[in-house]
Structure 1
């Protein structure tokens, strides 16, 4: 009989499948073995089997509610499955242990904008509280005299994702257009580096910083010594550890743009850049930063990577059967999103749903999502769940989707731009916070206001009305055929205008 010590040794050695089998044998012999349930959950989490992991870890915490380590792992598994509300609860149970409090509070601060039950005040409170922990013991670095720059303003962009062409469509759309006679551009790379394949157009006078192996204080001192005038964070909570660079205050002006979606909760940013759709004036009190707005959309984008040609809508050859779809990250598939999708599918019984995300390659994750939809009255036969693929092939999925459904409250950003570029309209509604309005920002900038509902019921009604309408296939075909030309002529792809607006903001701070 294999014992727990042997199973744990297999796990620690990285022999994950063998460890999981060992934990299962222990559980078969004793259903009350908390450590074995905990171990099985940890092993399956490590393998990306979040559905199976969450089941095992739930058993562990039911048997022993004080098992804070299991609560922490359960929170991660739940989040990866899109069960955001329960993930936050689990993180907060884990935070009752001093050893886990800081990490658990950080994770709550990261994911809370995507919680439908958390309001704007809750988001602000969670991020402000975690920001106080992050800032503890961090002191500003000394800024020596600024080296000469020939009258140019030095702009530093900080990102851990410069090598991601699908993410960087707005970023490189701006950076490639900066006026190098007036601005000296520094790209502070904390991960993969800028490249032509990612969309960056090399300029002789740009400075590429490859500093991902350095700690935050060293990076801050280097930036201060270089005399950066305006330092722009492109990471926000997608790479939260690097927020400490900004807490060291290496530049006289520090701004957040592109990947913010809510306040940072920190006092070290002088401004956060959005637009009128995502941050109405009445909500400025929920930001520690000064709110700055550009005209149009703050996410204006340009496609640099290869993309498939736009295909006709599939309903053109399947009269009366409309396929809704979402190529969103699975962590956005929370209860509110599934509730809305299920309402649409129940009201349009001839329609289908295609969902594709990298985590859905794993069987237990698919089973978990099928079960959640079935509990809402949507049979698995109507839903196709698929895993990820190489990016070009992933985009070909839109050939099989008539209309994309947004996620709520955590809208698409990259997902929305890619759906539109493939000719597929996105149905969304104007939510109650920044992250719930990014799609509305893009769609309105593209002149696609008809696809932006005013509220949840309006969205369901719009979707339901499209399915039986005999004019829908021809309407979608015409929309798809002209979509890229429409986008190119609209504010949604006016990266030149966005660049000028950002340059004006940067100079305004230094005037």
Structure 2
């Protein structure tokens, strides 16, 4: 049954046009090939998918037989084969040139279009990738592999309904296609249809039980979505470890590290995010402040696209190792050769992780921390670093296979990005109304969060909500329908597309109160908000992902802004909005309060972290020197 379109209400079209970056009087093009344009930027004349197809078909019709000559087709196929070889060798420029040569000979050469689409996707050129797959599906409309690839391109571009349609077609042709289930699950997750997404990911694993990344995707969904009780989630993590990691750990050789409890130690950090990424803002403080008389710092970078931040972080390490091109076995040998004493994973189950490297036990003591809000499920991961707010003692310990090590304050230490603007006066005093804001990644924002925000705006007539990274297509429809159902007109929503960091930071100057999503709280955005003088209203839950804000806000001296229910969340936001003089005073003083808090005490944080490391090291020394023990 086709879903009925929502009844148009005042401001609905304006909000859609704003989110899609269209100028007044121009139609919003948010269908197959759409782009968000930052506020104040002229829209680009993107071509629609239909135009692309018509041009392709006209080009194909120019040949009387609609077929390339046999010899041209054969030569085009050879060009496409060589292009694939060049791509696998890492020469994308040569690969793209060979694809274009192939298509000049035979425009129906679908493998050449497919590789061009893959290259465009690698370079985050989603519009170009969409065009390539429009060509492919005109040539091979019923090839499951192409349908699945096209579904993934549409998912990444935000065209979630189209992604579901294409994956469904692929599954009708090949029901046991594990990757089609994976892509479908990803699209459903972004539509906040989480139970259906979980079913798809489970289907995928039934069909391909050795799919390590697919299983990690399932764990990531469980950690952020609050679909199952924490103990059941912990069991899913353990299952991942028992299937993929534990067999590798059993073959690990004993370590030759000297078990001296108080000697200088070698600490290694492993991450794919030593780059312009949120992890870097939290990693730089301790990398820069380790006591070099007691610690030698090794960074093992799995970053495939280094940037200026990579170069900066490289200068903070005593030793820097690029391991992106190394196998897990080779990287583990390198770490043993480096004689690393404590190895710290900063990725968990996120993209680019090297958990199976840790499974090989390259260091005597291994920990996970920072870049992921869950555990790993591995026997080889000895510890998980947290704090008493995010993981309360007696409540959270049985949620992880790792032993919890709790820092005394927060598990985060924040470094504000250079060039952040100065705090401004409270916008509400100038505008005459309160502006709430959320700059979290949109997939974090659940339907129940949107409903709470709609109820909040319904109880405070005149208030507005400002969001960056606003979606298009079906996600935008979903959001507008939720506000519409609560009686909130869409012209009270200021929706801005994706912005570069500098422009995004400027958005904090436009809002009075930040709203945190649930059940997956923000971390970087919470710190940014507080630094800009904007208080954050949050809700805590039972999982670590839903308790990030209670750690940050408590350490910032604002525990009263964390509620345990949606009613308390809305009441907290309304209390802040009702007292503008107090809100203005908080805005004027919050940056200095944050500067004096544990969240920005990089020196104290690093000393606490080193003490935690040292205690873990001493435990290993005690075990390794006990009679009959070999570590």
Q: TM-score range by the shorter chain?
A: 0.7 to 0.9
User: Which position in structure 1 is the counterpart of 2:490?
Assistant: 380
- 1:275-326 per-position Cα deviation (integer Å, ceiling 9, x unaligned): 111111222111111111111111121224321211223212121x221111
- Of structures 1 and 2, the larger Rg is shown by 2
Query: Of 189, 198, 202, which aligns to 2:315?
Result: 202
User: Which position in structure 2 is the counterpart of 1:157?
Assistant: 269
Query: Of 223, 227, 236, which aligns to 1:117?
Result: 227
CA contact (8 A) 2:576 2:583 kept: no
Number of residue pairs matched by the alignment: 499
- Can you give the 5+ residue segments of structure 2 that lack an aligned partner in the other structure? 1-56, 61-65, 67-106, 118-127, 619-631
CA contact (8 A) 1:37 1:59 kept: no
Is 1:189 aligned to residue 275 of structure 2?
A: no
User: Which position in structure 2 is the counterpart of 1:51?
Assistant: 160
Range 370-379 or range 57-66, more displaced: 57-66
Query: Of 295, 300, 310, which aligns to 2:423?
Result: 310
Deviation at 1:40, TM superposition (A): 8.7
Structure 2 SS opposite 1:478: helix
Task: Provide the C-alpha distance between the structure 2 equivalents of 1:198 and 1:488, rounded to a whole number of angstroms.
Answer: 27
User: Which position in structure 1 is the counterpart of 2:279?
Assistant: 167
Task: Provide the C-alpha distance between the structure 1 equivalents of 2:149 and 2:280, rounded to a whole number of angstroms.
Answer: 38
- 1:92-127 per-position Cα deviation (integer Å, ceiling 9, x unaligned): 233332378554322101221111322212321222
Task: Provide the C-alpha distance between the structure 1 equivalents of 2:520 and 2:542, rounded to a whole number of angstroms.
Answer: 11
Query: Of 337, 354, 365, which aligns to 1:225?
Result: 337
User: Which position in structure 2 is the counterpart of 1:494?
Assistant: 601
- 1:398-441 per-position Cα deviation (integer Å, ceiling 9, x unaligned): 11111111111111011111111111111002211111011110
- 1:4-29 per-position Cα deviation (integer Å, ceiling 9, x unaligned): x96965445426444554688799xx
User: Which position in structure 2 is the counterpart of 1:480?
Assistant: 587
User: Which position in structure 1 is the counterpart of 2:248?
Assistant: 138
Task: Provide the C-alpha distance between the structure 1 equivalents of 2:273 and 2:164, rounded to a whole number of angstroms.
Answer: 33
Give the TM-score taking structure 2 as reference length.
0.71
- Can you give the 5+ residue segments of structure 1 that lack an aligned partner in the other structure? none
Deviation at 1:147, TM superposition (A): 8.6
1:317 and 1:23, CA in 2 relative to 1: closer, same or farther beyond 3 A?
farther
User: Which position in structure 1 is the counterpart of 2:538?
Assistant: 428
User: Which position in structure 2 is the counterpart of 1:95?
Assistant: 205
Deviation at 1:499, TM superposition (A): 0.8
CA contact (8 A) 1:237 1:260 kept: yes
Task: Provide the C-alpha distance between the structure 1 equivalents of 2:410 and 2:418, rounded to a whole number of angstroms.
Answer: 21
- 1:318-338 per-position Cα deviation (integer Å, ceiling 9, x unaligned): 21x221111111220222322
Is 1:42 aligned to residue 155 of structure 2?
A: no
Deviation at 1:67, TM superposition (A): 6.0
CA contact (8 A) 2:274 2:309 kept: no
Query: Of 350, 354, 376, which aligns to 2:462?
Result: 350
Provide the aligned C-alpha RMSD in A.
3.3
Task: Provide the C-alpha distance between the structure 1 equivalents of 2:571 and 2:150, rounded to a whole number of angstroms.
Answer: 41
1:44 and 1:186, CA in 2 relative to 1: closer, same or farther beyond 3 A?
closer
CA contact (8 A) 1:173 1:302 kept: yes
CA contact (8 A) 1:300 1:493 kept: yes
Range 428-437 or range 135-144, more displaced: 135-144
Deviation at 1:253, TM superposition (A): 0.6
CA contact (8 A) 2:151 2:163 kept: no
Structure 1 SS opposite 2:233: helix
Give the TM-score taking structure 1 as reference length.
0.87
Is 1:300 aligned to residue 413 of structure 2?
A: yes
1:410 and 1:314, CA in 2 relative to 1: closer, same or farther beyond 3 A?
same
CA contact (8 A) 1:141 1:221 kept: no
1:36 and 1:343, CA in 2 relative to 1: closer, same or farther beyond 3 A?
farther
Task: Provide the C-alpha distance between the structure 2 equivalents of 1:294 and 1:239, rounded to a whole number of angstroms.
Answer: 26
Range 226-235 or range 49-58, more displaced: 49-58
1:412 and 1:7, CA in 2 relative to 1: closer, same or farther beyond 3 A?
farther
User: Which position in structure 1 is the counterpart of 2:78?
Assistant: none
User: Which position in structure 2 is the counterpart of 1:464?
Assistant: 574
Task: Provide the C-alpha distance between the structure 1 equivalents of 2:551 and 2:208, rounded to a whole number of angstroms.
Answer: 41
User: Which position in structure 2 is the counterpart of 1:370?
Assistant: 480
